[in-house]
Chain A
Amino acid sequence: MRIIRIKYKKEDSVKYVSHLETIKVFQRAIRRSGLKPKYSQGFNPQMHLIFGLPLPVGVTSDAEYADIFFEEDYSASDIMKVLPCFIPDGFNMIDCGIRENDSNIMNDIEYADYEIKLESEVSKKDIVEQLSQLEVIEVIKVKQNKEKKLDIKPLIIKMSTDHDIIRLYCKAGNQTNLHPRLFISAINRYIDQSATEISIRRKEIYAVRNQKTYTPLEKNILE
Chain B
Amino acid sequence: MKIYDDILLSVEKPIRYTGGELNSVIKDYHSVKASFAFCFPDVYEIGMSHLGMRILYHVLNLRDDVVCERVFAPWVDFEEKLRENKLPLFSLETKRELNHFDVVGFTLQYEMSFTNILNMLDLGNISVFSKDRKEEEPLICAGGPCAVNPEPLFAFIDFFMIGEGEEVINEVMDTVISSKELKKSRKETLLALSKIEGVYVPSLYTVTYKEDGTVLKGVSDRIIKRIIRNFDEVVYPDKFIVPYMNIVHDRVIVELFRGCTRGCRFCQAGYIYRPVREKTPDTLLKQSENLLNSSGYEEISLSSLSTGDYSCFNEFSEKLVEMTAKQGVSLSLPSLRIDNFTLELMEKAKILRKSGLTFAPEAGTQRLRDVINKNITKEDILSSCELAFKNGWTTIKLYFMLGLPTENMDDVKGIADLTFEILKVYKELDIPGKKGVTVNVSTAFFVPKPFTPFQWEAQDTIENMLEKSKFLNSYFSKSRKVNYSWHESNLSFMEGVLARGDRRLSDVIYTAWKKGCKFDSWGKFFRYDLWMDAFRECQIDPLFYNQRVRETDEILPWDFIDIGVTKKHLQNEKEKAYDEVTTPNCLDECVNCGVMKYKEGICIENHKN
Q: Which residues of A are at the interface with B, using a C-beta cutoff of 8 A?
A: 13-14, 16-18, 21, 25, 27-32, 37, 39, 43-45, 47, 57-58, 86, 88-90, 196-199
Contact = CB atoms under 8 A, between A and B. Distances in A.
A197 B4 CA distance: 12
Q: For chain B, what secondary structure do more than half of its interface residues adopt (helix, strand, loop), or is it mixed?
A: loop
A41 to B, nearest CB: 11
A31 B244 contact: no
A159 B426 CA distance: 67
Given A13-B18, A58-B8, A196-B6, A31 B327 contact: yes
A31 B298 contact: yes
Given A31-B328, A58-B5, A89-B20, A21 B15 contact: yes
Interface string B13-29: 01100101110000000
22 contacts: A14-B20, A16-B8, A16-B14, A16-B15, A16-B244, A17-B15, A18-B15, A27-B298, A28-B295, A28-B296, A29-B296, A31-B296, A31-B298, A32-B294, A32-B295, A43-B350, A43-B354, A44-B330, A58-B8, A58-B9, A88-B242, A197-B9
Contacts of A196: 6
B245 interface: yes
A28 B8 contact: no
Contact of A25 (B9, B244, B354): B244
B399 interface: no
B244 A14 contact: yes
B296 A27 contact: yes
Nearest to B242: A28
B385 to A, nearest CB: 22
**Size class of the B contact interface (CB-based, 8 Å):** 20 to 34
B293 interface: yes
A86 B330 CA distance: 21
Q: With a 10 A CB-CB cut-off, give which of A29, A86, A88 has the most chain B CB atoms.
A: A88
A197 B5 CA distance: 9
A14 B245 CA distance: 11
B224 interface: no
Q: With a 10 A CB-CB cut-off, give which of A16, A25, A44, A198 has the most chain B CB atoms.
A: A16
B528 interface: no
Nearest to B352: A43
Given A16-B14, A43-B353, A88-B22, A21 B294 contact: no
Contacts of A17: 15, 244
Nearest to A198: B5
Contacts, number: 67
Contacts of A39: 328
Interface in B1-55: 5-6, 8-9, 14-15, 18, 20-22
B295 A199 contact: no
A21 B246 CA distance: 8
B21 to A, nearest CB: 8
A112 B489 CA distance: 55
Interface in B320-339: 327-330
Nearest to B18: A16
A13 B297 CA distance: 21
Contacts of A89: 20
B15 A90 contact: no
A95 B276 CA distance: 53
A39 B326 CA distance: 12
Contacts of B21: 88
A29 B22 CA distance: 10
A16 B44 CA distance: 15
- Among all A-B residue pairs, the 7 with the closest Cβ atoms: A28-B296, A31-B296, A32-B296, A16-B14, A88-B22, A17-B244, A16-B15
A57 B12 CA distance: 11
A181 to B, nearest CB: 10
Q: With a 10 A CB-CB cut-off, give which of A13, A17, A199 has the most chain B CB atoms.
A: A17
A25 B5 CA distance: 22
A14 to B, nearest CB: 7
A86 B23 CA distance: 12
Contacts of B298: 27-28, 31
Given A28-B22, A31-B328, A43-B350, 18 more contacts: A14-B20, A14-B244, A16-B14, A17-B15, A17-B244, A18-B245, A21-B245, A27-B298, A28-B242, A29-B296, A31-B297, A32-B295, A43-B354, A57-B9, A58-B5, A88-B20, A196-B6, A199-B5
